[in-house]
Structure 1
Amino acid sequence: MLARLSELFGAQRAPTGYWPGATLERVRRNLGQPSFECSAPVCAQFQFSPEGPLIEVHERAEAQLLMHVVLTEFRFHTPASPWSEGCYQLHHTGAITRTGLVCRRRKGPQDFADWLTLQLSANQRLREALMPLDFKKITLEYTRGGWSVALEHMGGSEVVNRMPAFRRYISLSIEQTRLLQQSILALHQVLKTL
């Protein structure tokens, strides 16, 4: 039933009023990175620093009833020691205020998700960057010799409504950009050493 409703409201095609690449251009201006280069209409790449990973930025539109949301996802790959394949999502804990970090298993052993939560939470530098970072989720997937990380930030996104008509970009503040950089560099270092 839900699948039929999403087909009816156009979840399979680009939403009305969606401008591919417009949100990505705003993200480029927010980040202010000279290495930022578009590789496709809705994809770009850059590096925060020469020792850090190459980061891909992907723009994705999600249609809803009379509106759509354009989200940006920051992705990077980190080579690591051999582990069994698995996929985990990192979230903040706490109902009203953030109290910690937790890894939820999507695929792979639950005991590894618990161990991963301990390892990530124990790293002071990573914890200090992630706790105030306004992210929706961080997906950590281990496949063939490394970790693929996808970080979806609440900023760098756009809300477009048709009735009443409005378009609002939620920018990445200077502080959130700094925390994003610290989080990505710290995640890259921690996952490399696991």
Structure 2
Amino acid sequence: MMVTTTLRQRLSDLFRADRAPAGYRPGVTLAHLRRNLGLATLEVDGVAFEIIERTESQLLMHLVLTEFVLRLPAATEGSASYEVHHSGTIRRNGIRVRCRSGNPALGRELQAQLLADTTLFQALMPLDFKRLRIDLHDQQWCVRLEHMGGSEVVNRLPAFRRYIALSPPQRTHLLQTLKGLQRLLSSF
């Protein structure tokens, strides 16, 4: 009985989600991304944002992903969470806002405003993002955008590391999207 418990504990420790993966170098991917962005500060045209690094473990590899985070005051009260994604099966043909929790009417209004803001729409359509989440909590908007670039793949077998750079056009679309979301959410 004692051997089984010890073995179970060791396996549990080995696969803990909160443990950093082997070979993870905190801050290295962020440094690559900051150079890649070419910005002295994390601010563009008065829009300040932060970048957060997180890891995603898989069997013999891990990913170091970066999220661009934008926090803004909200005129709207309440709590809500929305996911923004491209629509279309084969080709991107639009933008959809999905209500995860909270007021669905606010989500529909958010989608209508996204489609009406041509500058923001034109920046979002070619933007290669994995996740774009907009949360409302304590009269504050929090936008979390995870781009496909600005990340690192680390494999243990065979051993290699690869930083996936943010291309110049994607950099432009990303910064325009952050500015556009700041402009859009300031009206909510």
Fold shared per TM-score above 0.5 = yes
User: What is the TM-score normalised by the length of structure 1?
Assistant: 0.86
Q: Is 1:176 aligned to residue 182 of structure 2? A: no
SS of corresponding position for 2:67: strand
Q: CA–CA distance in 2 between the matches of 1:96 and 1:19?
A: 36
Compute the displacement of 1:6 (Å).
8.3
Q: Is the 8 A contact 1:79 1:146 kept in 2?
A: yes
Percent of aligned pairs sharing the same letter: 48
Q: CA–CA distance in 1 between the matches of 2:15 and 2:160?
A: 19
SS of corresponding position for 1:177: helix
Match of 1:47 in 2: 43
Match of 1:164 in 2: 158
The range that moved more, 22-31 or 99-108, is 99-108
Q: Which runs of 5+ in 2 are unaligned?
A: 1-10
Compute the displacement of 1:102 (Å).
0.8
**Residues 7 and 115 of structure 1, relative CA distance in 2, 3 Å threshold:** farther
The partner residue of 2:101 within 100, 104, 107 is 107
Q: Is the 8 A contact 1:69 1:158 kept in 2?
A: yes
Q: What is the identity, as a one-letter code, of the residue corresponding to 1:57?
A: I
Match of 1:16 in 2: 22
Q: Is 1:150 aligned to residue 156 of structure 2? A: no
Match of 1:122 in 2: 116
Match of 2:131 in 1: 137
Q: What is the identity, as a one-letter code, of the residue corresponding to 1:18?
A: Y
Match of 2:3 in 1: none
Q: What is the identity, as a one-letter code, of the residue corresponding to 2:33?
A: V
Q: CA–CA distance in 1 between the matches of 2:18 and 2:168?
A: 35
Query: RMSD of the alignment, in Å?
Result: 1.6
Q: Is the 8 A contact 1:10 1:63 kept in 2?
A: no
Q: CA–CA distance in 1 between the matches of 2:168 and 2:77?
A: 36
Compute the displacement of 1:164 (Å).
1.4
Q: CA–CA distance in 2 between the matches of 1:138 and 1:95?
A: 18
- Which structure is larger by alpha-carbon Rg, 1 or 2? 2
Compute the displacement of 1:166 (Å).
1.3
Match of 1:188 in 2: 182
User: What is the TM-score normalised by the length of structure 2?
Assistant: 0.89
Q: Which runs of 5+ in 1 are unaligned?
A: 36-45
Match of 1:81 in 2: 75
Compute the displacement of 1:151 (Å).
0.7
Match of 2:84 in 1: 90
Match of 1:39 in 2: none
Q: CA–CA distance in 1 between the matches of 2:64 and 2:112?
A: 33
Q: What is the identity, as a one-letter code, of the residue corresponding to 1:118?
A: A
